[in-house]
Amino acid sequence: MASPPLRIAFHAPMKPASHPTPSGDRRIARLTLQALERAGFAPFVASELRTLDMAGAPLRQAALEHRARDEAARLVGTLRADPPALWLTYHSYWKAPDLLGPKVARGLGIPYVVTEPILSRRRRAGPWAGFAAAAEAGMRAADLLLWSTPRDRPGLDFLGHDRLAELPPFVDPGPPPAPRARQTSGGRGAPLRLLVAAMMRPGDKAASYARLAAGLAALPAAAPDWRLDILGDGPARAEVEAMFAPLAPRVRFRGAVSDPAETRAAMETADLLPWPGVGEGFGMVYLEAQAAGLPCLAENRPGPAHVLVPEAAGGLPLTDPAAPGAYAAGLAAALASPERLVRAGAAARAHILARHGIDAAAARLRALLLPLIEGAPR
């Protein structure tokens, strides 16, 4: 009789997988659970305690630390009779440190792993100093840290290379998209269909919307005709709508879309996802778009550059964020060749399957976690 799959305790301190608000973080938490299952494990959500403090409020942090101590003690007591083989936490950083995993893993004598850990030395001072210290202490206690982007790797090097490994960002690519047949525009066919799917909030998201609006407004009059659908909502919606007001006849705001199937269908019928990617860790939307065979146009920033299909492999060239007019020029070049967009979309899908698909992630997780489990003291 085959042995039952090894149980893995899972925790997402920033946003639980069951959280009602869609976001990239929730999507990745759910994908990680799916990848662990595909790897042959039996993951379960150990706790839904959320330790996120967006405001940098020491009193809130102290209250969360008190709750975490109680929750960790409860979990150790509950799980001691039948402990999991390993504890895995998705995403610990200075605003949402993992305050459970280190304590529970130590109390149960099991390996402790963190995926997408982020450390910043400058956060050791300031309103998140206590949480930054807690995040760092947890990472120092980890048996393995799985980084996802080159931007995050340097901050972890001092913890020792023997405890670091790469887990590339991943997505469930789903079935192959329907073949695309593009018509040229500019009076000779249908307008090219552009799609954006992003939350509307102040900061980096608003900055990306602003760069996109400016790029579209700067397109030459002779550029092919286009239409833009925007999937998303949030506190900065009025600001975003004002950005695109001069382009109103060509822009449609579709609001928040919570159904992944609806988003996928929109991506499969679009021609281009133009998203500059300001401040994106890697951008889940880039993975989902490429899985749908939708080419992406982004600025040359660490996040997009890490997950988008390279130009040498058939992708669209990244634009220089420091060069005035570069994004508009990239848009104009992309729109000028619908045939190239079709080829770039096919290359994007192939890139996802080879490097960023859930099956590749499952194989990677199994190869990294089994040795830890098998080497753990009994």
Beta bridge partners of 195: 229
**Where does residue 368 rank: exposed (0-12), middle (13-18), buried (19+ CB within 10 A)?**
middle
**Distance, CA of 91 to CA of 333 (rounded, Å):** 37
Give start and end residues of each alpha helix (H) in the chain.
Answer: 24-38, 58-79, 101-108, 129-141, 204-217, 237-244, 260-268, 284-291, 302-307, 326-335, 338-351, 358-375
Topology (CATH level 3) of domain 192-356: Rossmann fold (3.40.50)
For the stretch 119-140, pLDDT in tens is 988 888 899 999 999 999 999 9
Closest CA to 168 of 146, 152, 148: 148
- The DSSP annotation for 98-118 comes to -SSHHHHHHHHT--EEEES--
| pLDDT at position 161 | 80
| pLDDT at position 157 | 85
**Distance, CA of 92 to CA of 283 (rounded, Å):** 17
Q: Which residues contact 370 (CB under 8 A, 6 or more apart)?
A: none
**Distance, CA of 48 to CA of 50 (rounded, Å):** 6
Starting at the edge strand that comes first in sequence, how are the strands of the sheet with 144-147 ordered?
42-45, 7-11, 86-90, 112-115, 144-147, 164-166
Provide the CA 227 distance to its chain's centre, in angstroms: 26
Amino acid, single-letter form, for residue 167: L
**Residue ranges of the chain with pLDDT lower than 50?**
183-187
Q: Which residues contact 326 (CB under 8 A, 6 or more apart)?
A: 299, 319, 320
Joined tokens for residue 259: 């159904």
| pLDDT at position 152 | 85
| pLDDT at position 377 | 64
| pLDDT at position 283 | 86
| pLDDT at position 181 | 64
Topology (CATH level 3) of domain 7-170+357-375: Rossmann fold (3.40.50)
- The DSSP annotation for 151-203 comes to TTSGGGGGG-GGGEEE----B---SPPPPP-----TTSSPPEEEEEE----TT
Closest CA to 181 of 314, 290, 343, 295: 343
**Where does residue 302 rank: exposed (0-12), middle (13-18), buried (19+ CB within 10 A)?**
middle
For the stretch 357-368, pLDDT in tens is 999 999 999 999
| pLDDT at position 184 | 40
The length of the chain is 378
Joined tokens for residue 77: 């007591």
**Distance, CA of 244 to CA of 228 (rounded, Å):** 10
Handedness of CA 141, 144, 146, 147 (dihedral sign): positive
Evaluate whether 7-170+357-375 and 192-356 have a shared fold: yes
b/e per residue 88-105 (b: at least 16 CB within 10 A): bbbbbbbbbbbbbbbbbb
Beta bridge partners of 229: 195, 252
Domain residue ranges in the chain? 7-170+357-375, 192-356
